[in-house]
Chain A
Amino acid sequence: MSLKLTTQAYCKMLLHAAKYPHCAVNGLLVAEKHKKKDSPRDSVLCVDCVPLFHGALALAPMLEVALTLIDAWCKENKYVIAGYYQANERIKEARPNQVAEKVAARISENFSEAAMIMLDNSRFTMDCFVPVLFIYDHHDNKWKCREPSTDCFEDWIEAQKITAALLESKSYESLVDFDNHLDDLRNDWTNPEINKSVLHLC
């Protein structure tokens, strides 16, 4: 089984990291709920991502609130939480830490094909010429890193073009993560405006 990302999911992950270049950021990936429960899927398509926090990622209460609320939202929209992404604070640090492993493990309890994604800050540029992800799959209670390639994208060329365009136009200034939502409940962490911009550029 392998994880694939849509343009919207990849875009919002990178916009989140670009909005807070001086902080660690993390978030969740959601996939559509598989209709046939018995037959296994050949690949999981992550259609969207929900940016969670920036700054201190290692505190539990708000993370639990976020997971609960996002789970409820997923159930309403026939999604399932399928993965976790994190970008560390330091440029050269791309290894998953305890927080990443704990949250990803919790997600894989509910969704066995869950993946953990670490952003490679050192290759993150405005042009997005290369995918900047490390994807980790859960095997035998360990997280193993996959070979990086453009296979994990539904459409890499489109993802690259649209992400570069949105970074250029500074769309990350209007991205809302769960932290922003907690600061002002009117901020919508589903980011409908950014979703519209992505669709518009497709």
Chain B
Amino acid sequence: MSSISELYDVSWEEMRDKLRKWREENYRNSEQIVDVGEELINEHASKLGDDIWIIYEQVMIAALDCSRDDLAWSCLQELKRQFPDSHRVKRLAGMRLEALERYEDANKLYDSILQDDPTNTAARKRKISILRAQGKSSEAIRELNEYLEQFVGDQEAWHELSELYINEHDYAKAAFCLEELMMTNPHNHLYCEQYAEVKYTQGGLENLELARKYFAQALKLNNRNMRALFGLYMGLFATSHQPYTPQNPEAQGFAARNRDEVDCVQLKFQHIHGEGLSC
């Protein structure tokens, strides 16, 4: 079984940099992280310096994802030895218990962290993840809402809450979470586009119009966002066939303008076809 460095002809520095990139961009390619990280730890530990501790943490979490308890345990032991009283390491021990489905033991560990440090957000979020893993969605939603009342700026939590609401088909509340994210990240095209998808799913003329607007905004922020382009097309199509009603006399005006925009979007699709960007 040849090593990663032989298979891909990479040096240990490149492997270390790849791990850093995956860490910073929050990738969940656990099998790759385990392959690269395990080799880096086994062959090149002495060259890594202080980076090795964060690599142990990254590899441990990836190992849990891949059911490699042997690797996770050895990483945890190294971290415990180096940082004996650390809450961060304790949380990793808790994650290992979660992976082994020993949820009660994991909860006890997290509760002990919170007794020592009630503001420890990582432990609170792990407890919520346990609820999600056990399928207790309503409790997870309730706990996450309470958490967000205290830690309003936690974007990861807002995003997790929006996902939970989407899975429960509570689109109005999911939209609220995404609105929070858009307010704090006005240039993020992904939040715009997800918000538009939620609004589209909610349905009804007002929501479809809103969806169309936010798909357009996402496209403005990133004109390569294909979901936004497709979504804009669907939104235009859906709102371009609205009949006149006395309650909404502007609907036909919108509809007519939207029909023209459908043509513009179709031209853009043809352009993309021409560039060979479709299969």
Contacts and interface: CB of A to CB of B under 8 A. Distances in A.
Contacts of B272: 185
A168 interface: no
B135 A90 contact: yes
Interface in A123-175: 170
Contacts of A181: 279
A61 B234 contact: yes
Contacts of A21: 65
A61 B201 contact: yes
B197 A61 contact: yes
Interface string A45-87: 0000000000010111110110000000000000000000000
A58 B277 contact: no
Contacts of A59: 166, 197-198, 200-201
Contacts of A92: 135
B126 interface: no
A10 interface: no
A62 B227 CA distance: 7
A186 B277 contact: yes
Contacts of A101: none
A58 B201 contact: yes
A22 B277 CA distance: 29
A193 interface: no
B278 A185 contact: yes
Nearest to A90: B135
B279 A61 contact: no
B230 A62 contact: yes
B231 interface: yes
B133 to A, nearest CB: 7
Contacts of B65: 21-22
A187 B167 CA distance: 27
Contacts of A187: 279
Contacts of A182: 226-227, 230
Contacts of A64: 234
Interface in B126-160: 133, 135
B279 A188 contact: yes
Contacts of A56: 163, 166-167
A92 B198 CA distance: 28
A65 B234 contact: yes
Contacts of A183: 226
A59 B230 CA distance: 14
A92 B230 CA distance: 35
Given A64-B234, A90-B133, A58 B227 contact: no
B21 interface: no
A185 B201 contact: no
Contacts of A93: 135
B28 A61 contact: no
A39 interface: no
A98 interface: yes
Contact of B169 (A98, A188, A190): A98
Contacts of A58: 166-167, 169, 201
Contact of B279 (A62, A65, A186): A186
Most buried by B among A60, A182, A183: A60
Contacts of B163: 56
Interface in A169-202: 170, 181-183, 185-190
A153 to B, nearest CB: 28
B40 interface: no
Interface string A3-22: 00000000000000000011
A56 B135 CA distance: 16
Contacts of B19: none
B200 A60 contact: yes
Interface of B: 28, 31, 65, 133, 135, 163, 166-167, 169, 196-198, 200-201, 203, 211, 226-227, 230-231, 234-235, 272, 276-279
6 contacts: A59-B197, A60-B197, A61-B196, A62-B231, A183-B226, A189-B279
Given A60-B201, A61-B201, A189-B279, 18 more contacts: A22-B65, A56-B166, A56-B167, A58-B167, A61-B196, A61-B197, A61-B200, A61-B227, A61-B234, A61-B235, A62-B197, A65-B234, A98-B169, A170-B31, A182-B226, A185-B226, A186-B276, A186-B278
Top 4 nearest A-B pairs (CB, nearest first) are A60-B201, A188-B279, A185-B277, A61-B200
